[in-house]
Amino acid sequence: MSEENNLYTFENEIYRKTYWHTCSHVLAQAVKRLWPEVKLAIGPSIDEGFYYDMDAPFAFTPEHLEQIEGEMRKICKEKLKLERFELPREEAVKFMEEKGEPYKVELINDLPEDAAISFYKQGEFTDLCAGPHLDSTGRIKGNAVKLTTCNAAYWRGDSNRETLQRIYGIAFPKKDELDAYLQRIEEAKKRDHRKLGKELGLFMLRDEGPGFPFFLPKGMVLKNTLLDYWRQVHKKYGYVEISTPIMLNRQLWERSGHWDHYKNNMYTTVIDDVDFAIKPMNCPGGMMVYASEPHSYRDLPLRVGEIGLVHRHELSGALHGLFRVRCFSQDDAHVFMTRDQMQDVIQETVRLFDEVYSVFGLSYTIELSTMPEDHIGTVEEWERNQDILKNAITAMGKDFVINEGDGAFYGPKLDFHLADSLGRTWQCGTIQLDSQLPERFELEYTGEDGAKHRPVMIHRVVLGSIERFIGVITEHFAGAFPAWLAPVQVKVLTVTERADEYASSVTAALDQAGFRAETDKRNEKIGKKIREATLEKIPYMLVLGDRDMENRTISVRHRSGEDLGAMTLDQFLELLRGEVDSKERK
């Protein structure tokens, strides 16, 4: 496809966002036709589709959404031309006041004095908007538009303001693309980690602790197995592990800069008339560990890791299963180094990320997040560190995109966005280059010249929030974890009570060999036992009947339905050991 033709396809992000933005106007027009009393707020395109916030005197139901979809299809068939025009501020305010749109009036009044106040008109409908838009509603395929959900939303994101209703939608140039998307969404619902977490007995969420997950026994096996792997990999790369206090005084957080830049997300208390904060991240504790003893250039790079429990205040409306919580374990690590070591350390860290993500079958894309408005340090330092990150990953042959202004307040960062089995992306890993906190904490090392020098450091996580990562891989694997990670690796099933004793001996042998096994000796038909073990997504089922007892064999089934036939227990142990040691994904 030529570059010119590609401009008008969904491969082009600008065209895709323009298409979805126009869909949001068609949505608003449809609502106003059906219910003129509804007040409009804002309606942008988003990463997947579009939405419009509205103030309605009733709650939108699925039936309402169907009505709106029908009206949207009519508007698309009418092929209404979209026309842009501008008005002076006073005329613009009067125009929207006459239409009875108070939210639009507020938006106009908040625009800068020199802003161009533009509108887009399509048929009888006109909306305040900067654009851009398609030239006609006929460009939108009405049968490939779907309104998906309606949620509550605060006006301008302020919980003290009006509560609006946000209607989400998605649209594609072709009906079969919409069908494929909706099918993917249905599959995602089946994989929802909240649903699977309950069904598989991994974790629970309670009203008594909103945003504070409870891990159940099988969930703890999963979590600890994941952390055992984390420790194994980090030992290989030369990390040492520490643990720092969950609560430290205000003076420390002021010194680190978190009190000024992050205090709204921190939980605080008073101890002995002194302000304390529960840590929202592990960095300051890591600084103090480094500063606790003198260091030489020979010690560097010094790699220090911590599985630290952190707390961050999130609005209740933002909480979502394990994906957005108020309390989580973060696999923070800090690497202290000389300036000459920066590129090598960054590349070494990326190789560690590659090793870990490949085990789970997760590919990734990289974003370089640059200096935010709220930052510490000079522009020159930021630009130098941004170039170091760019050069390090470019030299590895890796691509990246720029995410302007989204760096940490102390330094630029590389964010790793993981793609799961459904093609969804999750930001998990990050590498943050920092020359500011070593300065604030007056960290030093003795150089080869015998003089004192300031180290630089990276803050990095590979899994990120352990809880969130568990949510991601639960959905990625649809709860069917690889054998090495599965909370229960083997279920021993008896066909008859006569096999009970044999089943106990097989389970004991599995346990002695270091595998996680359960036994089902219930007086139920074997078909039911197999179905239930399959629903529990246990990798292997060992079916034991009279013939197995006589021959001292086991009949092996995989959760996929594959019958591996009869084998000796030693043969199965060898098979399972190979699969677990290689961390095979199946």
- Of the candidates 217, 233, 411, the one whose C-alpha atom is nearest the C-alpha of residue 331 is 233
Active site residue 283: yes
Active site residue 334: yes
Residue owning tokens 């303001």: 161
How many CA atoms does the CB half-sphere of 166 hold within 13 Å? 18
Catalytic option among 283, 375, 415, 548? 283
Active site residue 586: no
- Of the candidates 578, 537, 585, the one whose C-alpha atom is nearest the C-alpha of residue 561 is 537
Burial class (CB in 10 A: 0-12, 13-18, 19+), 423: exposed
N- to C-terminal Cα separation, the chain: 37
Three-state secondary-structure class, residue 408: strand
Catalytic option among 133, 166, 218, 413? 413
Catalytic option among 459, 476, 529, 537? 459
Active site residue 489: no
Contacts of 110 (CB under 8 A, 6+ apart): none
Catalytic option among 234, 312, 460, 529? 312
Catalytic option among 53, 127, 332, 415? 332
- Cα dist. 26→94, 142, 159, 544 in Å? 23, 10, 28, 63
- Cα dist. 174→9, 143, 179, 188, 495 in Å? 11, 8, 9, 21, 52
Active site residue 459: yes
Residue 583 near residue 572, CB atoms below 8 Å: no
Catalytic option among 29, 165, 330, 489? 330
Angle between helices 89-98 and 102-110 (to 10 degrees): 170
Residue type, 127: D
Catalytic option among 334, 375, 491, 529? 334
Active site residue 21: no
Q: Which residues on neighbouring strands pair with residue 240, listed in sequence order?
A: 304
Residues known to be catalytic? 283, 312, 330, 332, 334, 413, 459
